[in-house]
Amino acid sequence: MLAADAGTVTAGPAAGRERGWPRPALAWAIAFAWLAFSIGLRPLTLPEEGRYVGVAWEMLRSGDWLVPTQDGLPFFHKPPLFYWITAASMQLFGANAAAARAAPLLGAMLGALGLVWFVARRVGAEHARWTGLVLMTLPFFFGAAQFANLDMLVAAFIALAVVFAADAALATHAGEPHRRSLLAAWAAAGFGVLAKGLIGVVLPGLVLVLWLLAMRRPGTILKLLSPLGLVVFLLVAAPWFIGVQMRHPGFAHYFFVYQHFERFAATGFNNVQPWWFFFAAVPALALPWSPWLLRRSLGKRSGEAGSATAVRQLMWIWLGGVLVFFSLPQSKPVGYAMPVLFPIAFLAADAVLAAWRGDRRWPRRAVQASLGVAVAICLAAVIGSTATYDRDNTALAKTLLKLRDPGEPVVFAGEYFFDIPLHARLQDPVPVTGRWTDPKIAERDNWRRELAEAVPFAPELAVRLLVTPEQGFALRCGTKTLWAVVRVDAEGQVSALPGATRMTTSNRASLWRVPAAACPAASAP
């Protein structure tokens, strides 16, 4: 599927088999089409895609590209790069599912380009082609490239930082020019920080330090710490953090101290898994290519250049280091392990290429079978998820958009429905009812905690948006109809209101029309 511009081409019989590869421009066009063809077929999944795309929608709607918000309240859990890309995409192509997934698609393409370039340059063009082909057909990679959250974007910039810095290290050792690669590595690390925080620079640094120590080149570590590179890193990453800190003085402590360190000492997180979780989940999600890793070792191949051996060592350290790093915390969302897909693709391609070059027929048939199974898994996942996913609120939101007159208030009763503001094109934040003084809110990592943690940054706005049920339903008091969205299992609190009528139900949520009434509005607590 993919071709490379740089690197050597093996002579002899293997070279003849390369004739089937398309030219680089066509290969990358095919790769893009492969990742993008199904990107808009299914609705945004909840809660994750709805949450992050909803923040991007609010950025686009409000025109404030500095401070991300969730339901109008500052949302400082993650930096803004995903929101910037997504909001820009929706501005260009419309607020739809395909445009909302531009960021992971862009990340996947950039990460693949960087990896293929590096392998072509340091190992060879044929190996680069197979690496790209394996990467593009890894089911985990294929799915993540069209899933609207931050994981693919940060994984891509981590991968770019690693391969550019590794190229600079190899060039330094060989006495070759290395400044461009080094500056590109620092820029990628800066974008990685803007994508998800300090992990964007910490993880590449960990991989590179372990690799250079394993190769007994500790002096190269200091050479990579270029003052000019640090300047590039700060120029990319620092302005947003400075701008937000100037507007919200408590931001730096919340983001760097609380979000990065204090929360990991607390409890109540989602996705708690045993220490071995990633070591089982990642090979399963990388089938059918992951078993090929068992066919190759760390050693040098006969007649192989030294840089190829160094690259192979890098990939093994990259794979093992990242898996161990993310196995330490109790919380283990599977997307955290996404940076290992890049070394898995290289190492699997290492074995695949050896089998493809061999004289025996069955290894080549095994390669063809693996490719066919990989493509089938990717297509089955797309078809299955498109046909069966029904947990979104798109239909309900479109009904609200059709029936609601401008200016009529909307309230979310007892839950925040992430995707409704986007699909209903709501122009203002929505009051959410709940018992917001409950101390147990801080014990669980969910939407209530996210909204409650924003209160110190916008207390006056929070008073109007985080309301009691009495305050929320009092929005009907006056001359305008109130629209209430509530879970089906809790709709009794709305159905008891005089004149309330259920208009539609979807995804275990229902939309109610509550006529205006002459009643005393509830006062703020």
pLDDT band with cut points at 50, 70 and 90 for residue 20: low
pLDDT band with cut points at 50, 70 and 90 for residue 309: confident
Q: How far is CA 396 from CA 216, 454, 469, 504, in A?
A: 61, 27, 21, 6
Q: What is the mean pLDDT of the chain?
A: 88
pLDDT of 16:
38
Q: How many helices (H) and strands (E) are present in the chain, helices listed first?
A: 24, 8
Selected residue with higher pLDDT from 215 and 158: 158
Q: How far apart are CA 271 and CA 261, in angstroms?
A: 18
At 64, the amino acid letter reads D
Burial class (CB in 10 A: 0-12, 13-18, 19+), 522: middle
Q: What percent of the chain has pLDDT over 70?
A: 91
Bridge partner list, 272: 331
What average pLDDT does the segment 458-483 reach? 91
Q: Is the per-residue pLDDT at 6 higher than 50?
A: no
Question: pTM for the full model?
Answer: 0.91
Q: Is the per-residue pLDDT at 9 higher than 50?
A: no
pLDDT by residue (tens digit) across 198-212? 999 999 999 999 999
pLDDT of 304:
58
Selected residue with higher pLDDT from 25 and 152: 152
pLDDT of 387:
83
Q: What secondary structure letter does DSSP report for 178?
A: -
pLDDT of 523:
56
Instruction: Take residue 70 and report the two structure tokens written for it.
Output: 């969730």
pLDDT of 17:
44
Q: How far is CA 13 from CA 1, 10, 115, 365, in A?
A: 20, 8, 26, 17
pLDDT by residue (tens digit) across 353-401? 888 877 677 778 888 899 999 999 999 998 988 888 888 899 999 999 9
Q: What secondary structure letter does DSSP report for 497?
A: S
Q: What percent of the chain has pLDDT over 90?
A: 62
> What backbone torsions phi and psi does residue 350 show, to the nearest 5 degrees?
-60, -45
pLDDT by residue (tens digit) across 321-337? 999 988 887 777 888 89
Q: Is the per-residue pLDDT at 349 higher than 50?
A: yes
pLDDT of 390:
82
> How would you classify residue 252: left for phi > 0, otherwise alpha for psi between -120 and 50, otherwise beta?
alpha
Q: Is the per-residue pLDDT at 14 higher than 50?
A: no
What average pLDDT does the segment 70-99 reach? 95
In this structure, of 122-126, 193-197, 442-446, the range with the lowest mean pLDDT score is: 442-446
Selected residue with higher pLDDT from 442 and 219: 219
Q: How far apart are CA 181 and CA 169, in angstroms?
A: 9
Q: Determine how many CB atoms are found less than 10 A away from the CB of residue 141.
A: 26
In this structure, of 193-197, 280-284, 408-412, the range with the lowest mean pLDDT score is: 280-284
Q: Is the per-residue pLDDT at 153 higher than 70?
A: yes
Interacting residues of 156 by C-beta distance below 8 A, sequence separation 6+: 107, 108, 110, 111, 114
What average pLDDT does the segment 254-270 reach? 68
Q: How far apart are CA 100 and CA 86, in angstroms?
A: 5
pLDDT of 328:
83
Q: What is the 3-state secondary structure (H, E, C) of 62-84?
A: HCCCCCCEECCEECCCCCCHHHH
pLDDT by residue (tens digit) across 92-119? 999 999 999 999 999 999 999 999 999 9
Contact 146, 364 (CB under 8 A): no
Q: Which residue has the tokens 């409000």?
A: 62
> What backbone torsions phi and psi does residue 257 show, to the nearest 5 degrees?
-85, -55
What secondary structure does DSSP assign to 368-412, as a single string?
A: HHHHHHHHHHHHHHHHHHHHH-----HHHHHHHHHHPPTT--EEE
Contact 276, 327 (CB under 8 A): yes
Q: How far apart are CA 69 and CA 76, in angstroms?
A: 8
Picking from 47, 34, 36, 24, the residue whose alpha carbon sits closest to that of residue 451 is: 47
What average pLDDT does the segment 11-29 reach? 64
pLDDT band with cut points at 50, 70 and 90 for residue 443: confident
pLDDT band with cut points at 50, 70 and 90 for residue 262: low
Contact 146, 41 (CB under 8 A): no
Q: How far apart are CA 221 and CA 292, in angstroms?
A: 32
How are beta strands 482-487 and 509-514 bridged, if at all?
A: antiparallel
pLDDT of 297:
53
Picking from 388, 396, 423, 408, the residue whose alpha carbon sits closest to that of residue 502 is: 396
Q: Is the per-residue pLDDT at 8 higher than 50?
A: no
Q: What is the largest CA-CA distance in the chain?
A: 88
Selected residue with higher pLDDT from 145 and 4: 145
